[in-house]
Chain A
Amino acid sequence: MAGDDAVTFAEQRLTIEELETPVIQIWEGVLALPLVGAVDTRRAQLMNEKLLVRIVETGSEIVLVDISGVPVVDTAVSGHLLETVSAARLLGAEVIIVGLSARTAMTLVQLGQDLAGVTTRTTMARGLQLALAQLGYKVTKQDAGMLAEPS
């Protein structure tokens, strides 16, 4: 049935939309948005909407946007990222872009997109460290002897 196909298609699309823009609260006041795959205008818009609503819901102050899974970061993508940064700022949240590779950094510099005023880190771990420090948390490791397995 053609009607059934249409319904399935709509459902699949919804599932994909849910999957492609997960916004996870990883700490009190910290949200993570891992991006995987290409970022087009429609997706960027969806991502922004969802992120802003989540910022308000959770009262978050910092958002870590991980772009390590984005294959190509061109002018369009960096433009979308800057929109996210500005919109989040209007709600009082700071965006830290994490997962920048050396190649991405090179590309951005060559494109003249220096992401001025945006805090960036190479890995999610470093971004989280910065976020926690900004929120006044101090992360310390317990006595190494007490841990069964070295990490």
Chain B
Amino acid sequence: MTEIPIIKVGETLIAVVREDITDEDALQFQEALNGRLERFGATGVLIDVTLVATIDSFLGRLLHEIAVGARLLGAQTVVAGMQPAVAMTLVELGLELKGVRTVLTPEKALALLAHERNNLRRKA
């Protein structure tokens, strides 16, 4: 089993999903991420999936679950760098990752998270 490293930068947790991620790795990642959120209370989660060539129904559903879990722990999840073929497969599987924000690049994800954070501050 290979652990997915989770880096905390400011109020954002950043994780890069590896190409050969297994179901166990993914579950371990979900648990680790929720643990970090509980402990550090980050407001944003950036998951980079640039390297991932295939997302099956398990991983697709798990990404959705991760986003919902993170929201419950007070953080917004942004998935960045999805490959076109992966997007096609997910849509064909009927897994549209509703409720998960998706952007083209990690830069855009960070910009989005910063923007949302400012919006929240203004409201608070």
- Verify if A86 is at the interface (C-beta below 8 Å from B): yes
For B80, list chain A residues within 8 Å (CB).
Answer: 92
Interface contact B88-A52, CB-CB below 8 Å: yes
For A90, list chain B residues within 8 Å (CB).
Answer: 82, 86-87, 90-91, 96-97, 102
A92 to B82, CA, bound (A): 9
Chain A positions within 8 Å of B, measured between CB atoms, are: 48-49, 52-53, 55-56, 59, 61, 83, 86-93
Tier of interface size on chain B = 10 to 19
Interface contact B108-A92, CB-CB below 8 Å: yes
Chain B positions within 8 Å of A, measured between CB atoms, are: 80, 82-88, 90-92, 96-97, 102-105, 108
For A51, give the chain B residue with the smallest CB separation. Answer: B84
For A53, list chain B residues within 8 Å (CB).
Answer: 84
- Other 12 A-B pairs with CB < 8 A, given A55-B84, A86-B96, A91-B102: A49-B84, A49-B88, A52-B84, A56-B104, A59-B104, A61-B104, A83-B92, A87-B87, A90-B82, A90-B86, A90-B96, A91-B82
